[in-house]
């Protein structure tokens, strides 16, 4: 499809659980992103990685912990989440951060926190 | 701060009619503008972008967008709508986030419904 895959596609977790979301891009890109998409709200950029280095953390609560072991893989580790964290979590990649490069998105993980 | 506005939450159009999805922007400097589409249970797909050059940009699936600097607008258009165009459309602008880094700022999205 778009060259960006995300697993799992759906996740239901309790507030005391620990889980991880995985993203993999097959496009040879250098920048990767995590977004949160909630109903009736604009996409919220959470984290940005460029060449495996984190360059943005948009005031995201510490219960969300990103990890980027290499330019092709991105994880989002979740622990002690709140019901308001229920949303669609989208991963994206782009060739580089600067310039007019478009981002390519994965299909997302639909997260429900009980 | 850079921002985009999509003034319509929903647009309804009859199949075969022309469609327009509106977007206005606010940036300092030259804007880099993007349109994305999201189908149900899918991620966002890139449609087209404006960086420089012709004000009329052509993209995927027969869509085009017109950049208007004086009106700070970047409306998405298609001459003849298809039922399969029904989806959520997002306008975005590149914004500078410091230290040589850029990010995309998205609008809230417009739901397009094409009626058979």
Closest-CA distance of chain B to residue A38, Å:
10
Give the nearest partner residue to B46 out of A45, A102, A108, using CB atoms: A102
Of the candidates B38, B43, B49, which has an alpha carbon nearest to the alpha carbon of residue B86? B38
Q: Which residues of A fall within a CB distance of 8 Å from B103?
A: 33, 45, 48, 56
Which 3 state secondary structure label does DSSP give A42? coil
DSSP B23: -
Please, is B73 exposed, middle or buried when counting C-beta atoms within 10 Å of its C-beta (0-12, 13-18, 19+)? Answer: middle
DSSP A87: E
pLDDT < 50: residue spans in chain B: none
Chain pair A-B, CB pairs under 8 angstroms: 59
Which 3 state secondary structure label does DSSP give A46? strand
- Taking the C-alpha atoms of residue B63 and residue B59, their distance in angstroms, rounded to an integer, is 5
| In contact, A29 and A93? CB cutoff 8 Å | yes
Which 3 state secondary structure label does DSSP give B10? strand
- Taking the C-alpha atoms of residue B109 and residue A40, their distance in angstroms, rounded to an integer, is 8
How much is the pLDDT for B100?
66
Q: Do B46 and A92 touch (CB under 8 A)?
A: no
Nearest residue of B to residue A58, measured between CA atoms: B97
Q: Which residues of A fall within a CB distance of 8 Å from B101?
A: 48, 50, 55-56, 97-98
Q: Do A104 and B101 touch (CB under 8 A)?
A: no
Q: Which residues of B fall within a CB distance of 8 Å from A6?
A: 43
Please, is B76 exposed, middle or buried when counting C-beta atoms within 10 Å of its C-beta (0-12, 13-18, 19+)? Answer: buried
CA distances from A107 to A2, A101, B85 (A): 9, 19, 18
Of the candidates B103, B107, B77, which has an alpha carbon nearest to the alpha carbon of residue B92? B107
Put simply, whether A3 touches B (Cβ < 8 Å) is no
Nearest residue of A to residue B41, measured between CA atoms: A107
Give the nearest partner residue to A102 out of B41, B49, B102, using CB atoms: B49
Q: Do B103 and A45 touch (CB under 8 A)?
A: yes
What is chain A's pLDDT, residue by residue, as a tens digit (114 residues)? Answer: 459 999 999 999 988 889 999 999 999 999 999 999 998 788 999 999 988 777 777 789 999 999 999 989 999 999 999 999 999 999 999 987 766 788 999 999 999 999
Put simply, whether B60 touches A (Cβ < 8 Å) is no
């Amino acid at each position: 499809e778009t060259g960006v895959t995300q697993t799992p596609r759906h996740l239901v977790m309790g507030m005391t659980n620990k889980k991880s979301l995985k993203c993999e891009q097959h496009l040879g890109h250098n920048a990767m992103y995590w977004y949160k998409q909630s109903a009736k709200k604009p996409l919220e950029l959470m984290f940005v990685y460029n060449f495996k280095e984190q360059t943005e953390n948009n005031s995201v609560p510490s219960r969300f912990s990103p990890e980027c072991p290499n330019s092709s893989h991105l994880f989002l580790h979740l622990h002690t989440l709140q019901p308001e964290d229920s949303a669609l979590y989208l991963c994206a990649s782009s060739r580089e951060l600067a310039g007019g490069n478009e981002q390519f998105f994965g299909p997302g993980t639909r997260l429900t926190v009980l | 701060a850079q921002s985009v506005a999509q003034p319509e939450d929903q647009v309804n159009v009859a199949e075969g009619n022309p469609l327009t999805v509106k977007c206005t922007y606010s940036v300092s400097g030259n804007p880099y503008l993007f349109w994305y589409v999201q189908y149900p249970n899918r991620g966002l797909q890139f449609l087209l972008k404006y960086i420089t050059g012709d004000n009329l940009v052509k993209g995927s699936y027969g869509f085009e967008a017109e950049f208007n600097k004086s009106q700070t607008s970047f409306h998405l258009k298609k001459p003849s709508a298809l039922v399969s165009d029904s989806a959520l459309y997002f306008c975005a602008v590149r914004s500078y986030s410091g230290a040589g880094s850029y990010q995309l700022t998205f609008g809230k999205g417009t739901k397009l419904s094409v009626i058979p």
